[in-house]
Each structure stands twice: as C-alpha cells, then as structure tokens.
Structure 1
C-alpha cells in the first residue's frame, strides 16, 4: 500500500476532497505550512491507497485543480484500517496500473548504489564468477550473479531515457561501462595470478570449458535471454513487486561473459576475449533497449513541460552536429548488421548440431550394434565460434553389455560428413553400466544391491575423423 501526502490550496480544497470521496478514498486533513510562505490557508491531505490506485488518485486530484508539482509525497505503508479500505483493495486487487512517473523514477534510483559500493560488489562478483568458470561450476557462477549489482544502472539508464532525464541516463551508462570493464580487468588479473601460482593449468583450452564455450560470441540464445531479461525488468520496475530475482537474470546475461573475456585474454586466447567482449556489448545494449521499449509500450513518455526532462531524442538531434549524427547512424547500422548476422550464423550452427545428433543416433541404431544408446552429442567450436564450423564432435554412448564397438567413431564421422559436408573429428566416449532385478520375497545379495553401477572408462574411448 501507499500513503499519499499532498499540499492543497484553499481555493481547490473542497474540489479535491470531493474527488477523493467520489473514489471512496478515506483521508485526513492536517494543518501545514506552505514551503513558499505564500499560502497560509493550505492544508496537507493524507490518504492511504493501494499501490495500483496511486496513479488514478493523483490524476483525480489534478483534475480537481491540485498542483501536484507543488508538494506531493508517496510513502510505503504496511496496512490501513478505514471504512472503505477493503473495498479499495478488492477494486484494485487484479488491476495492473504502472507506477506514476515520480514513483518510477524513485524506485529506479533506490535500486542504484553509490559508486564505491557498486564497484566493490562488481569486483567481488567478478572474482567469484572467474573461479566458477575455471572450475566449470554452475553453482559458483550463479552465486556471483546473486551479488552482482548491475540491475541498478540498467534500470536507471532506461528510465532516464524514457522519462527524458539525460543526466540520469548518461550517468547510468557510464556506470554500466565502468562496472563491466572492471569485471573484465578483475577476471584477467585473477586468471594471471592463478596461472603464475600454478593453481590453474598453465596450458588450458579455454574454449573447451563448457560454461565458457557457450559464451564465445553473440548468438540467438543470448539475444533471447537479453530480450527476456529486459522485458521482465521493464515490467517489474513499474509494479510493486521486488526486483531481486530480475536482477539475477540480468546479471546472468552479463557477468559470466565479462569474466570469460578476462580469462580468455589471460590464457593468451584473444579471439575468446574479443568474442566474449562482443557478447557482453551486444547483450547490454539489447537489455537496455528492451527495458526502454517496454517502458515506452507501458505509456511512459518524457515530460515536455519541464526543461530538465526534455525529450532525449529531440535534445540529441537539436544539439548534435553532422559528425555526431553520422557516428550514431553508423553505430546503429553496425549493431543491426551484427544482430542479423548473429541470427543467420546461429541458425547454421543449430542445423549442423541437429544433423550431428541424427547421424549419431542412426549409427548407434544400426542393426549390427546392440545395447547402445546415445546419451549426449556435443560440438566443440574454435575460438571464433559460432563463425567457424565445429572442430570436434563428442558423442557419449551408454553400453549395457560392454561389447566391442570399434569403428563407431569413423561411422559417425562419415555420416556427419554426408549430412553436412563438413569434415570434423569425432570422439566417442563409452559409459558402461550393469543392471539387475531382485526376486520379491527374499533379501537382495550384495550383487543385487548394486542394481545399477555407472562407471566411465576413458581407456575405451576412440576417435576418428
């Protein structure tokens, strides 16, 4: 719930109270002093309302002649006991009404932190993300997302852009760039330290780490995550709900990729670093644009009557010279081309992986091979993925009888070449298991208690191309 405090002049007081009565809003009239000292007969009206009723109530007061720019405070409350409170709750229980402009701006600013705290949390989250990526541990990486404070600058930048607050927008964009750059530098420094102290392999195929391999370049999956996170953040910031989980989602799209860039540069793989940096840039721009577009669709616009909240696009066009406009146009065209290229290249990658999966299944289901099941098929790309074709396809196969299946790798490689026209190395990894069932009515023997034993045998793996 919210508590509205508004200063009402004597000449419109009765009209304002009638407007509240018409909407069943209970209120209290308190003595007050005009901050300007010019209206000695003004009064402070206090009215508790449900959160979704704030905007309609303020609009009703404006229609009654109240100058809400003079003095208005919207505070949070726990509950209220008034003759009409239950009726108001029932009326607005299922009513979605975005927050008023002022409350939206205040909520976005509340999510922001001072620069020192922001950068300190970015350092901590980057350290944790780096360790999690090198250990290939999703749990540790998720922990880094929880403490990452990137949601604040993302929301304040988009809210500033939509409301026309150029100072808020530019300050938040600088904070985003600085925080992500700091995360890359921290990951780079920690990775170098781990290599120098021999706490990590000095020679490491960074792109073979699964959590890094999926972040080597912009792709459709990253685009979808960024759009979803941005839309969720735009809707969440306009409602009374918390933003913590949405903040984790935004961090999930940005922080691991920033840490992966630092790791790539530290291990001497610049293509990994450049690709993940491109992913970070692509993702943060997409999230900002998605949040701003969502807010625009929900009806938020710049306030043309105030000089501070002038329209951002109009102000930019009015004050920019031709070189600046040309630069903006070129950047926009490059970003659009990158987005289209990412969709096309990712579509080719997905087509190859579907063909590789089907080739592996067909080879395993050959009548000459029994008791085999495809568990997983993974494609490993070069450092410039997904631009390059796959270098290696790893097929994990379960074997129930521990038989001799020599030549399976060559068969799968040939089938992939026939389907895709690509020559790739194929590695087959066997996972053996035993199974047994106990007869009802008697205790199981030691062998029967081990009804399912899953063991990896790396020595039985094979490879072919």
Structure 2
C-alpha cells in the first residue's frame, strides 16, 4: 500500500474527504483541520491500495488539490490492519501489477537529471569498461555494466514519449547526449595518458579477446537490448528494483562507450565505428522496448492511465 498525504484548501476538503471515503481502495483516513501552514489549509492522510492509487490521484487532481495544495505518496513497507487488507481486496486489480503513473514520472524524472553524480557514475563506468577492454577481463566489463547509470535517462525518454511529456524527453535526451560524449572523452584522455607512460599499446585490443563481444554488433545485439528494455521497464513499473541489476548486466551500452575511447586513442577506427553502432543499437532498442511496455500497460487495464496535467 501507499500512504497518501494531501494539503487541501479548506474549500476542497469535504469533496476530497468524499473521494477517499467512497473509494474502496482507501482506508485509515485522517483529517487534521487547519494543520497546514504553507500552503494554508487542512491535511488529509490515508492509506491507499497501490492498484487504486491512480484513480484516487486523478479524482484529487480534478479538485485542483495538486495546484492549490499538494499531494505526496510514500511506500508502506509493513501494515498490520484488517481495514488495509480489506482495501487491497476491494480495490480492482492486483497491487503487484499496478502502475502508478505519477510515481513513475517522478522517479524517472529524478533519475534522468544531468548532474555531477550522474556524470561521475557514467565516467567511472566507462573507465571500468576501458580497464576491462585493456586487460581482457570480462568480469571488469560486467562491473562497468552494473555501475552505469544510463537506464534512468533511457527509461525517462520512454516515459516522456508515451506520456507526451516534452520536459522529460528533453531532460533525458540531454543527459544521454552530454553524458556519453563526456565519459568517452575522459576515457580517451586517460587512455592516452596510459599510452604515454607505457601502460598500453595497440596490441591491447588486437587479435581475439574474450571481450570482443562489446563491439560485435548484430541482430542479437538488438534482441538483447529489446528484452533488457522490456524487463527494465517492467521492473520500474512493478517496483521490483532487483531485476534492474540483471538488466544492466545484459546490455553493452557503457562497455561500448568505453571501447570507443580506447580504440580511438589506439587508432582502431573500425572498432570505434563498430562500438558506436553497438551503443546506438542498444540505446534505441532499450527505449523502443520500454515505450512499448508502457503503451501496453497504459491500455490494460484502462484505469491505470497517466494523468494529463499541463
């Protein structure tokens, strides 16, 4: 279940109470009259079954509470209550399958911001990938896959496309368009320094290696990207975050970016192009699959639809 708190203008309180009282998926309703200071108003709290949350949010937003007051949601880890059990039983659908669109938009929006932390993780991931390429270490490549933060902007891009949220599309696109070139440039720079001090030469990526799969783009690259994108979006929309680790390990976005930096410095331009192709195929495949999952979930069931607000 989710804990809902709403700051209501006094004029909207009775109608908001009616929404929460009448919905079978809401329970533990509490009113703190006049408790809100900024913005001024009443505070309503309730526990809402996950599968009922979108419907309740839509009704409250129709009252203008999101504009004149505020609504917050928090995950409830443990609830010992017959009333809560009844609310979950009475609410239509299954909590594990429920998609809370506002929660998804907020989460992907936060994870797609271009900031120092995002850039640091992406640079570190690409450097790990470069180290894996140079040392022919598949284990290090896997580590780079796990560290990479790129699924956040990719998921936000899919959400933005499906929900027609231009702000999300622009934010995610900027994070990807700036993040990868910066990470590749830093990787190339440090690779060049390594070459100057004698730590590596062209032989590092010549011949056959265990990590050659990083730049070997083909049909299966797209297949894996599509499956990973679908699994990743299902993970995000069902709150099964542990699955995301498996998604990161399955795609070669960050390893391909790291390989570009190493191969460019060592003059292996064929592998630069192949790695760039691998990166592009993975990025496009993930976004398309994630968007398709959202389109399907947007229609089945119909009540779990994104709210349209400005």
TM range (shorter): 0.7 to 0.9
Q: Given the superposition, is the C-alpha separation of residues 234 and 196 from structure 1 closer, same or farther in structure 2, using an over 3 Å criterion?
A: same
- 1:241 counterpart SS class: coil
Q: Given the superposition, is the C-alpha separation of residues 185 and 242 from structure 1 closer, same or farther in structure 2, using an over 3 Å criterion?
A: same
Structure-2 residue corresponding to 1:31: 33
Q: Is the 8 A contact 1:148 1:251 kept in 2?
A: no
* Relative contact order higher in (CA < 8 Å, ≥ 6 apart): 2
Q: Given the superposition, is the C-alpha separation of residues 111 and 246 from structure 1 closer, same or farther in structure 2, using an over 3 Å criterion?
A: farther
Segments of structure 2 that go 5 or more residues without pairing to the other structure are 300-304
Q: How does 1:31-180 map to 2 (within 5 A)?
A: 31-32=33-34, 33=36, 43-58=42-57, 61=59, 66-70=63-67, 71-89=70-88, 94-180=94-180
Q: Is the 8 A contact 1:26 1:82 kept in 2?
A: no
Q: Aligned partners of 1:247 and 1:177: how far apart in 2?
A: 24
Q: Is the 8 A contact 2:25 2:48 kept in 1?
A: no
- Structure having the higher helix fraction is 2
Give the superposition deviation at 1:173.
0.9
Give the superposition deviation at 1:249.
1.8
Q: Is the 8 A contact 2:130 2:259 kept in 1?
A: yes
Give the superposition deviation at 1:202.
4.5
Q: Is the 8 A contact 2:4 2:74 kept in 1?
A: yes
Q: Is the 8 A contact 2:101 2:307 kept in 1?
A: no
Paired residues, what number?
298
Q: Is the 8 A contact 2:225 2:251 kept in 1?
A: no
Q: Aligned partners of 1:5 and 1:48: how far apart in 2?
A: 9
Q: Aligned partners of 2:225 and 2:281: how far apart in 1?
A: 9
Structure-2 residue corresponding to 1:19: 22
Q: Aligned partners of 1:237 and 1:148: how far apart in 2?
A: 16
Q: Is the 8 A contact 1:98 1:298 kept in 2?
A: no
Give the superposition deviation at 1:191.
2.8
Q: How does 1:22-421 map to 2 (within 5 A)?
A: 22-23=24-25, 25-32=27-34, 33=36, 43-58=42-57, 61=59, 66-70=63-67, 71-89=70-88, 94-206=94-206, 208-212=208-212, 214-242=213-241, 245-246=244-245, 249=248, 252-299=251-298, 306=309, 308=310
Q: Aligned partners of 2:71 and 2:279: how far apart in 1?
A: 40
Q: Is the 8 A contact 2:216 2:275 kept in 1?
A: yes
**TM-score, structure 1 normalization:** 0.57
How much is the aligned-residue C-alpha RMSD, in angstroms? 3.1
Q: Is the 8 A contact 2:25 2:52 kept in 1?
A: no
Q: Aligned partners of 1:91 and 1:17: how far apart in 2?
A: 14
Structure index of larger Rg = 1
Q: Is the 8 A contact 1:180 1:258 kept in 2?
A: yes
Q: Does 1:4 align with 2:4?
A: yes
Q: Aligned partners of 2:182 and 2:246: how far apart in 1?
A: 19
- 1:162 counterpart SS class: helix
Q: Is the 8 A contact 1:55 1:97 kept in 2?
A: no
Q: Given the superposition, is the C-alpha separation of residues 245 and 13 from structure 1 closer, same or farther in structure 2, using an over 3 Å criterion?
A: closer
Q: Is the 8 A contact 1:229 1:250 kept in 2?
A: no
Q: Is the 8 A contact 2:251 2:282 kept in 1?
A: no
Q: Aligned partners of 2:88 and 2:259: how far apart in 1?
A: 48
Give the superposition deviation at 1:256.
0.8
- 2:4 counterpart SS class: strand
Give the superposition deviation at 1:113.
5.0
Give the superposition deviation at 1:158.
1.7
Q: Is the 8 A contact 1:258 1:277 kept in 2?
A: yes
